[in-house]
Amino acid sequence: MLLRKWIAGGVCKSHARLDGRTVVITGANTGIGKETAKDMARRGARVVMACRDLTRAKNSAEYIRRSTGNGNVVIRHLNLASLYSVREFAKEFKATEERLDILINNAGVMMCPKCITEDGFETQLAVNHLGHFLLTNLLLGMLKRSSPSRIVNVSSIAHVGGKIEFDDLFFDKRPYSSLLSYKQSKLANVLFSRELAQRMKGTGVSVYCLHPGVIRTELNRHVLAWYPMLKTILSLPSMLLMKTPWQGAQTSIYCAVTEGLERKSGCYFSDCTEKDPSPEGKDDEVARRLWEESVRLVGLNNRH
C-alpha cells in the first residue's frame, strides 16, 4: 500500500557494528526507545537503558537480550523530572562504566496536565529539556574521552511555531496550555542541539536532533484523556496514518550510527534525511540565551 509506505518514511540502511561501544538511551523501556535499544543491542553495543519504571524496564531488557542474543543490556534508574535523580544516575554511570559512545535523549512526556516537579519546574520543560540538558552536560567528559561520539536528541515537528517564553517558562503568569508547553519543550531540544554542536566543535562529539514521525505509542495517552472523542475517531485511521515504533525509531538509529554524519553536527533530521528546522529552531541568539538560562536553572556550576 503506497500510503503506508509513504507514512513509514525512511529506514536506516547502515550496517555499522557497535561492538565494544556503550550506548545510553533514556526512556528505553517502551515505544521508539525500546526499538532503538533493540537495534543498538543487535549491533553488538553495551546498552544502558535509563528508565524511570524499573519493573517495565526489566521486562523490556529481558526481551531485548532474548531477541538479539546480546546479554550486555543493563538497566539503570533515571527520573528526568528530578535533578537529584539525574545527578545520581550520572554519578553511578561515571563510577561504573568505562566509556560512553552514544547518548540518545529519547524519553519525553507529551501534552500532560500541568504538574510541577520537585525542583519547581513545569513537567514538560523539565523532562523534555532540563533533565536531558543536565544529564548531557554531566556526561560530556566521558563522551569527549570516548570520541568520536554522538548525542542524539529526539525532538518533534511540534517545535514549529514554538516559542521560548523566557519571562514565563513554567506558565506561572499565563494560563497553562499543554500544547504550547509541549511546543516550547520540543523547540528547546532543537536549540539545545544547535548550541551544543557549536560548543563541541573540535572535540569529536557530534550532536543531532530529529522528528521521529507521528507514532502509535503511549505518549498520546494524555491527548486522548483530554479529548476522549478523539480515541474513537482516531482508532481506525491512526492505524493507517501513524508509524509503528520500529518505523519511528529509524531516524534516531540513523543519527546514532550512520557513517560520515559528523559534518552534519547540529542539524535536524526527519525520515533519515536532513531537514530544515523551523525559523525558531535556527535562532542562535535564543539558543545561547536558553543555554545560559538552563545552566542557571539546573545549577550547573562548571560551565561547558
Task: Report how far apart the first and last C-alpha atoms of the chain are (Å, whole number).
Answer: 49
Q: What is the Cα–Cα distance from 20 to 45, expressed in whole angstroms? A: 6
**For residue 295, which phi and psi values (nearest 5 degrees)?**
-55, -45
Look at strands 22-26 and 102-105 and give their pairing. Answer: parallel
Q: What is the Cα–Cα distance from 19 to 17, expressed in whole angstroms? A: 6
Q: What is the Cα–Cα distance from 111 to 124, expressed in whole angstroms? A: 8
Distances (CA, A) of 163 to 40, 184, 285: 34, 5, 13
Whether residue 182 lies in the annotated active site:
yes
Beta pairing partners, 24: 48, 103
Q: How many of the other CB atoms lie within 10 Å of CB of 228? A: 8
**For residue 275, which phi and psi values (nearest 5 degrees)?**
-130, 165
- For cell 550496517, the residue is 15
Question: Which is the catalytic residue, given 63, 176, 182, 208?
Answer: 182
Catalytic positions? 182
